[in-house]
Amino acid sequence: MKKLFFVAVLSFGSLTAFAQEAETAVSAAAEEAVVQEDFTEIETNNVPEAVTEALSINYPSATINKAYSNEKEQYKLEVALEDGTKGTLYADKEGNWIEI
């Protein structure tokens, strides 16, 4: 009987942990979606020179496919490398890389 009770408690605990983890993942995705909406697409030639310089220094083979900015003067860059790798980078107006 003790073993059955112990197994039941462990099962319940693991289900609770899984539910919390899933809820956290959904919350993070919703938060990211809100952040993404704050950016407005701009012409790639409107990206500040400091940002394009930082890109050429840190990612010399990268080209900007699309650029976006927000009210905080942060820039979201969709870039592609020569080898076909694509990614998204974020920078402030001084060319400092940021994580959003």
Q: Judge contact between 92 and 98, C-beta under 8 A.
A: yes
> How far is Cα 70 from Cα 42, in angstroms, rounded to an integer?
10
Query: Which has the higher per-residue pLDDT, 67 or 21?
Result: 67
Containing 84, the helix (H) or strand (E) segment is none
Q: What is the mean pLDDT of residues 78-96?
A: 96
Give the range with max mean pLDDT: 6-10, 12-16, 60-64: 60-64
CA-based nearest residue to 74, from 88, 62, 60, 63? 88
pLDDT at 56 over 50: yes
What's the pLDDT at 54? 97
**DSSP secondary structure string, 23-74?**
HHHHHHHHHHHHHHHT-EEE-GGGS-HHHHHHHHHH-TT-EEEEEEE-TT-E
Give the tokens for residue 8. Answer: 């039941």
Q: Could you tell me the pLDDT band of residue 21, with boundaries at 50, 70 and 90?
A: low
* Three-state DSSP class for residue 85: coil
pLDDT at 89 over 80: yes
